[in-house]
């Protein structure tokens, strides 16, 4: 059987010449775009987070955001 080449089997700078004439410009972000992330929560977890918010005198949205940041870390 013929040897199958790895598509990444080349020198790291083999295609740099393709970028020589490329001009890159940065565009500022669009403040009109809103991103929404849906994360499924059980009712028990949501109740626990709401109780924590009440206990700490915080808005439940802030407590949920803290929990999501902690889970993502």
* Backbone torsions φ then ψ of 51, nearest 5 degrees: -65, -40
DSSP for 19-39, please give it: GTT---------TT-------
Predicted pLDDT at 5: 67
* 8 has a pLDDT exceeding 70: no
Please state the three-class secondary structure of the chain as a single string: CCCCCCCCCCCCCCCHHHHCCCCCCCCCCCCCCCCCCCCCCCHHHHHHHHHHHHHHCCCHHHHHHHHHHHHHC
For residues 53-57, give the mean pLDDT: 94
pLDDT, average across residues 54-58:
94
pLDDT in tens, 10-54: 777 878 888 888 888 888 888 888 888 787 888 898 899 999 999
């Amino acid at each position: 059987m013929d040897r199958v080449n790895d598509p990444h089997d080349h020198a790291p700078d083999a295609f740099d010449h393709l970028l020589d004439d490329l001009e890159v410009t940065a565009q500022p972000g669009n403040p009109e775009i809103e991103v929404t992330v849906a994360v499924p929560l059980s009712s028990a977890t949501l109740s626990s987070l709401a109780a924590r918010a009440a206990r700490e005198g915080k808005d439940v949205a802030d407590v949920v955001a803290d929990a999501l940041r902690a889970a993502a870390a």
